[in-house]
Homo-oligomer: A and B are copies of this chain.
Amino acid sequence: MCRWLAYSGTPLLLETILYRPAHSLIDQSLHSKLGVETTNGDGFGIGWYPEHPSDTPAILKEIGPAWNNRNLREIADHVRSPLFFAHIRASTGSAVQQTNCHPFRYGRWLFMHNGAIAGFHLFRRELVLLIDPELYPHVEGTTDSEVMFHLALTFGLEDDPPAAVARMAGVVEAAGRAHGVEFPLQMTLAISDGVRLWGFRYSSQGTSRSLFYSSRVDTLRNLHPDVAFLQEVSDETRLVVSEPLGDLPGAWNEVPESTYGIVQPGHDELLPFVPQAA
């Protein structure tokens, strides 16, 4: 299991979000409160869309813990971005290597995951065979997460992310159940194309890993006129996180079970998520 955050809004130094909050993601790498593991030290990754035009988002991945990593600190202190992902990993057995770190990238798309496919070793091969042969060479690691991403890409992620994720989830559940796994899927996902940001919360059992989104900044600004940070960011600025970064009253809202949200220019949305039966 892992912890992650996704930021969309006014371009900020990554440091503002990654290090400065009281219970920042870096703090969570040592002391997660809501995660299955308290320590998330098996590698990390960040992905960011640069301020200047760029064909792809940038990625930094390292196999050590985030909390002591100097390169992460440097990037966070010097790079600004309007939309970025950060992920800290707690391996459940697969190798600690860059190719198993999140976020994963395909063209302009970023993808990161917390959760697991139960019994994955029993039917990983079957799932991998469902990946579009054109995409197959892009799979470099051994995580269930990367397979989920490439299945979603196979099923049209670039055209309709919620539909593609629904098909992916349906295929995973079908494969798992065919192998006698009662609750095959446990996931929270963040996906972006650099403009919109999708967050999914779902598990076969209906007891999904935690996921939160931040309240509208204009609402928070009224509640907390003295919080300087809220003066610096636009009304549309939004965070989606595995666990709250602090305890500002009114700031955090749980994403309901079996739900996905879209953070986008204009009105954001929360919608029900149902796997598409395979």
Contacts and interface: CB of A to CB of B under 8 A. Distances in A.
A96 B69 CA distance: 8
Number of copies: 4
A39 B39 contact: yes
A86 to B, nearest CB: 15
A134 to B, nearest CB: 10
Interface stretch (A74-82, A169-177, A238-246): A74-82
Given A137-B121, A142-B140, A64 B64 contact: yes
A62 interface: yes
B97 A95 contact: yes
Contact of A63 (B64, B67, B75, B77): B64
Interface string A90-111: 0100111111000000000000
Contact of A78 (B39, B58, B64, B99): B58
B97 A68 contact: no
A75 B99 contact: no
A65 B121 CA distance: 25
A50 B78 contact: yes
Contacts of A78: 48, 50, 54, 56-58
B91 A68 contact: yes
Interface in A122-158: 124-125, 129, 133, 136-137, 140, 142
Given A98-B70, A129-B129, A79 B65 contact: no
Nearest to A81: B78
Nearest to A52: B80
A162 interface: no
Given A50-B79, A64-B64, A125-B137, 20 more contacts: A38-B38, A41-B41, A42-B65, A48-B78, A50-B78, A52-B80, A59-B70, A68-B91, A68-B96, A70-B95, A70-B98, A79-B79, A95-B98, A95-B99, A95-B140, A97-B99, A99-B142, A125-B133, A129-B129, A140-B142
